[in-house]
Amino acid sequence: MLIGNINKYIKFLGFFFLMSCSYIPWNLHEPKRGEFDFSGNLDLKAFVRMAEVIGLWVILRPGPYICGEIDLGGLPSWLLQDRKSRLRTTDKGFTEAVDRYFDQLVPRMAPLQYHQGGPVIAFQVENEYGAYNKDKHYMSYILEVRTLGGSPHLHAFFFNLFPSIMFDFICFQGNKPILVMELWIGWYDYWGAEKHFVRNTHVEHTVSEFIQYNISFNAYMFHGGTNFGFMNGAVYDSDIHKSVVTSYDYDAALTEAGDYTEKYFILRKILGSISEIPLPPLPDPTPKSVYPDVSLFHYLPLWEVLQYLHAPIKMSIPVSMENLPINNGSGQSFGFILYETPICSGGHLHGHAEDMAQVFVNDTMIGILSENSRNMDIPTFTQGCQLLRILVENQGRLAFTSRIQHEQKGLTDSVSLNKVTLKGYTIYSLDMKMDFFDRLRSATWRPITGSYEGPAFYRGTLRAGPSPKDTFLSLPDWNYGFVFINGRNLGRYWKIGPQKTLYLPGVWLHPEDNEVSHPSPCYED
């Protein structure tokens, strides 16, 4: 979850002990095996020092697993290449990868801890492992790897650690202090469900009782943020895979844009009533702007976009995204993947696709494959061999479940037609990184003169004026897809709700004209 410009609001709540709990997403810091990134938006040191400047203490939550609402719990997808590897255990394949990661991470965390003059007062040991619990030796291993992972300075710190525990019921333990690491004042949403709310009266009552009994707590989430890009996770509900929405607003005290809510004022009132000093006045909310409607004037069918992708891979059988031999052997993490193979007859098609696959004969869509729908009929044709195309989307990997071991995406097994295994594939990776949109700008785009029913990329312009500010994109008439602004992925939209808008930070906008790209498959309503 990306935290926006909210810290100035947090420090005005009037806590006696202000702290920020911050996840460290492994899948962003090591997107390719052995290649680490701590720059730009991933600059851990700069983020923690910013918290220090505004007066916050910090609890770092480096995982390796960090939470259930981000893709694969924050684990990098290349860990799924070996189907025999057991994630979140002391399995050698997993621990070797964790060791290499913490060899990079621990030296960066160590100088930030309190005993070294920094703001970090604790480091979490893993997250939510009690609900997973596949290896009784795992938590001890994680504690050890952090104390020995390249810096002796963490050793003393970890003797005072407390694991993250989510309480539905508080068990009082004499005079021992109690810290509720996650007081849920809201909940996350997933596509196709009602929006979740936690009643303000419930939050007010719970916080008041905590204060009465001297119970410390973290509000989860005080500010939720946004699952930008393809970072959302997924849940398994009634045997159906459901994607977490782009917004991580969470019905929190501050919205994903940092605006006040009624919960904020409730918390401020309660905590202000026990503060020994008057609370300072509230800062003004972050400025927002309303911009002219975005019109999409040009489009490119997916089939004309393929030439702007990296060279396709030729393989005898289909492989999952994670096992595609690209990105220096690390495979593909997110987005779409397209499989093409010739067929010379119609008939009964059987295939394992994760999560959603559109099946085409040449340019004509035939139907949908998914984990719950693995069969369809291909109409008979008489004009020689045709091209079977299967476009598969990763809609978010599960995390809070033992199924995390089996979250490979794309075609995860062979495909058969009339019980004959199909072979000879051309495979395209559509992970839609920024360099892809740079190449796509040189394409000859078609003017939109009517409706196009196949998967396509659409393009328009957002005119932001001379001083861009935060805004929200409302997409009432769009069915499904993603929105990219100047090559940055804002996230998924879907007319089934509950999310109706996409948050757009003003810092991602250029003065005046901004490119809006809208890749959209052609799923049925």
Residues forming the active site: 128, 182
CA–CA gap between residue 56 and residue 51 (Å, rounded): 5
CA–CA gap between residue 513 and residue 503 (Å, rounded): 18
Identify any residues that bridge with 373 across adjacent strands, giving them in sequence order. 370
CA–CA gap between residue 258 and residue 3 (Å, rounded): 9
CA–CA gap between residue 89 and residue 77 (Å, rounded): 16
Residues near 135 by beta carbon (within 8 Å), at least 6 away in sequence? 86, 88, 89, 90, 91
Q: In sequence order, what E strands does 257-399 have?
A: 296-301, 313-315, 336-343, 347-350, 353-354, 356-361, 364-370, 375-378, 386-393
Per the rule left: phi > 0, alpha: psi between -120 and 50, beta: everything else, 77 is alpha
Six-digit token pair at 326? 């690209």
Question: Measuring CA to CA, how many Å separate 409 from each of 26, 155, 204, 333, 353?
Answer: 19, 39, 42, 9, 7
One-letter amino acid for residue 267 of the chain: L
List Cβ<8 Å contacts ≥24 apart for 477-482.
478/518, 478/520, 479/520, 479/523, 479/525, 480/520, 480/521, 480/523, 481/518, 481/519, 481/520, 481/521, 482/432, 482/518, 482/519, 482/520
Six-digit token pair at 491? 């996230």
Pairing of strands 57-61, 120-123: parallel
Among 29, 44, 14, 24, which Cα is nearest to 118's? 44
Q: Do 393 and 523 touch, CB atoms closer than 8 A?
A: no
Please give the DSSP secondary-structure letter assigned to residue 242: E
The dihedrals phi and psi of 53, each to the nearest 5 degrees, come to -60, -35
CA–CA gap between residue 44 and residue 105 (Å, rounded): 9
Q: Do 205 and 185 touch, CB atoms closer than 8 A?
A: no
Six-digit token pair at 273? 């009533």
Rounded to the nearest 10 degrees, what angle do helices 92-109 and 138-148 cross at? 40
Per the rule left: phi > 0, alpha: psi between -120 and 50, beta: everything else, 491 is left
Six-digit token pair at 351? 């295939």
Question: Measuring CA to CA, how many Å separate 61 from each of 22, 65, 127, 385?
Answer: 6, 9, 8, 54
CA–CA gap between residue 477 and residue 523 (Å, rounded): 15
CA–CA gap between residue 264 and residue 266 (Å, rounded): 5
